[in-house]
Amino acid sequence: MVGGTLIYFVSDTVTKPLAQLVFGVRALERGDYRYPLAKGGENEVSRLTLAFINMRETLRRDTAQREELEGQLRQAQKMEALGRLAGGVAHDFNNLLTVIRGHSELLQDRTEPGDSSHNHAQQIRKTADRAASLTRQLLAFSRMQVLEAKVLNVNELIGEMAKLLRRLVRENIEFSLQLSEAALRVKADAGQLEQVLLNLTVNASDAMQDGGKLTISTESVTVSEEEAHLKGTVEPGKYVRISVTDTGQGMDATTKARIFEPFFTTKERGKGTGLGLATVYGVVKQTGGFILVTSEVGTGSTFELYLPSTEEPTGSAKRETHGTNGAKTPQHKTVLVVEDEREVRELASAFLTSAGYSVLTAEDGVEALETAGRLGVCIDAVLTDMVMPRLGGAELGIRLKNAMPQVKVIYMSGYLEPKESGAVLDLRYFLQKPFSRDALVEKVGQILKSEIAVKDKRWEKQQVIVM
C-alpha cells in the first residue's frame, strides 16, 4: 500500500508534469504557443514548468513583434519600389506633357479665337494641365517632387484652413479641432501640407456616409528609443503630431496594408483616383516625417502624422510674383539649352527664339561643357534639365559657375532622382515641368535682368528643397 501510494505520488507530482512539459516543448517546436500546462505546485518540476511558460510567452511576444517588423519592412520595400515606378512614369509623362502643352500654345498662336482649330488647341492645353496635376500627385507619392520648404506654425495653418475643411464635410458629421496651445513649428511646404489635410479630411468624410465625428488634433511629442522600437517606423526625436480621427466604417488589415498604394481605392468606379492617400504618404515622408494608421472595421480610423519639430522662427517673407511685362527680353542675349529629350529641347529653343534670344543646344551636361568651352564668352544663360545621362544639371551648374561665374544657370525639372536628395535650389533659378512659353520666357527674362545680379533680400529665405 505504501509502495503504491508512493508510486502514485511520484507519478502525479513528477512523471505526469514532466511528460506534460515534454509535450509542451514539442508543441513549441511546431510553433504552438497554446499547449496547456499546469502552473500549480511548489516543487522543482512546477517551478521548471512556470519558467518554461514564462519563456514561451516571451518567445511568443518576440516572434509576433518580429513578424510585425518584417511585415513593415516588406511594406516599406514595396512602397519604395512603387515610388520609383511612379516617379519614372511621372518623369516621362512630364516631358511628354511639356511637348503637348507647348505645341498646343503654338497652334493657338497660329489660329484665330473662335476658329475650330483654336478651340481644339485650347482643349488639348486644358487636358494637358489636368494630366500634369495627376503627375504631380505621383511625384508626391514617390517623393521626387520639388518642395518649397519653410518654417510653419502648424496650429496657425490648420486654423486658417478650418472654414474650408468644415465645408468639405457633410452636415451630419460633427467637425472639431483640438489644437495644442504651444507653438508647434515644422519645416515643410505649406501648399503640400494643406493638400495632406484636405485629402485626409475628404477621406474621413467619405468613410462616414451615415454621419459621425471628425477630429483634427495637434500636440508636441517626444519619441523615445523604446517607443520608436514599438512603433516600428518612427525614429526617436521631437515631433509635431497631427492626428485626424473619424468614427467611420474603418478598415480591415488587408485594406489598411494597401491604402497608400497609388490608384488603390475602395470607392466605386468613377468616385476616386486612388491618389489621395498616396499623396499624403509621399508628402509626409519627403518632409522627413512618418505616418501611422490605426483602424478597425466598425470603429473608425486615426491617421497620425509625425513631422519633425523645429525651433527656428517662422518666416514672414512671401513669394513675389511677377507678370510677363516685368521680364522684358534682354537684347542680343544667348541662351544654351541643355536637355536630353529632343522634343523638349526643340520646344524650349522655339519658345526662346520666338522671344528674340539666340539659342544654342546640347544633349547633356558633357556636350554643354564642350560648347561652353568653345563659346563661353558668348553665353549669357544656361537652361538645363536636372536629370540627364552622363552629367546631370546640378553637377553641370557647379562646373559652369566655377569656370564662368558671370553665366546664369536656370534649372528645369519635373522631378529629382534620389541621388539629387538634399539639393537646394534658389527659387529664382528653377523652372517646373511641364512649363508654358510665358513661364519659360518670363523666367529667363527675370534672370537676365541686370538687377537680379545683386542679392535681393526678398528672396533670401525662398528656397526649393528636395528632401
- Are 354 and 380 within 8 A, CB to CB? no
Q: Give residue for cell 472595421.
A: 297
Of 61-65, 271-275, 456-460, minimum mean pLDDT range: 456-460
Q: Which domain holds residue 268?
A: 150-308
| 28 within some domain | no
CATH number, domain containing residue 221: 3.30.565.10
Name the domain boundary from 145, 179, 213: 145
Residues 73 and 102 in one domain: yes
In a domain, 76, yes or no: yes
Closest CA to 368 of 345, 348, 339, 346: 339
Place of cell 546664369: 408
Q: Do 345 and 428 fall within a single domain?
A: yes
Across the range 203-220, mean pLDDT stands at: 92
- Residue 215: strand pairing partners: 176, 245
- Using CA atoms, how far residue 376 sits from 330, 365, 390, in Å, is 18, 14, 21
pLDDT of 458 over the 60 cut: no
Where helices occur in 321-413 by DSSP H, the ranges are 342-354, 365-375, 393-403
CATH code (residue 42): 1.10.287
The verdict on residue 23 lying in a domain is no
- In the prediction, which pLDDT does 230 show? 67
Give the β-pairing of 212-223 and 237-246. antiparallel
Residues 140 and 164 in one domain: no
Residue 65 lies in a domain: yes
Please name the amino acid found at residue 48: L
Calpha distance 450→453 (Å, rounded) = 6
Regarding whether 157 and 101 lie in a shared domain, the answer is: no
Question: What residues form DSSP beta bridges with 293?
Answer: 303
Percent of the chain with pLDDT over 90: 20
Please indicate, yes or no, whether residues 132 and 154 belong to a single structural domain of this protein.
no
Q: What is the CATH number of the domain that holds 388?
A: 3.40.50.2300
On whether both 160 and 301 belong to a single domain, the answer is yes
Check whether residue 187 and residue 131 sit in a common domain.
Answer: no
pLDDT confidence of 266, banded at 50, 70, 90?
Answer: confident
Residue 210 has what DSSP assignment?
T
Number of domains in the chain: 3
Do residues 169 and 63 share a domain?
Answer: no
Answer yes or no: is 208 within a domain.
yes
Q: Based on the domain organization, do 358 and 426 belong to the same domain?
A: yes
pLDDT tens profile 114-172: 788 888 888 888 888 777 766 666 665 555 555 667 899 999 999 988 888 888 888 89
The confidence band for 244, taking pLDDT boundaries of 50, 70 and 90, is very high
Cell of 5: 501510494
Residue identified by cell 569656370 is 403
* Same domain for 330 and 266: no
Final residue of a domain: which of 274, 308, 342?
308
Ranges 146-155, 224-233, 264-273: which has the least confidence:
264-273
162 and 293 assigned to the same domain: yes
372 vs 158, 382, 387, 393, 395, CA distance in Å? 49, 9, 19, 14, 14
Instruction: Using the predicted structure, report yes or no on whether residue 17 has a pLDDT greater than 60.
Output: yes
Q: Which of 126, 145, 164 is the last residue of a domain?
A: 145
Segment 407-428 mean pLDDT? 64
pLDDT (average), residues 299-304: 93
Q: Is residue 344 part of a domain?
A: yes
pLDDT confidence of residue 96:
83
Residues in the chain: 467
Pair 141, 155 in one domain = no
CA 44-49-54 angle, 5° bins: 125
Q: Is 5 inside a domain boundary?
A: no
Q: What is the mean pLDDT of the segment spanning 387-400?
A: 88
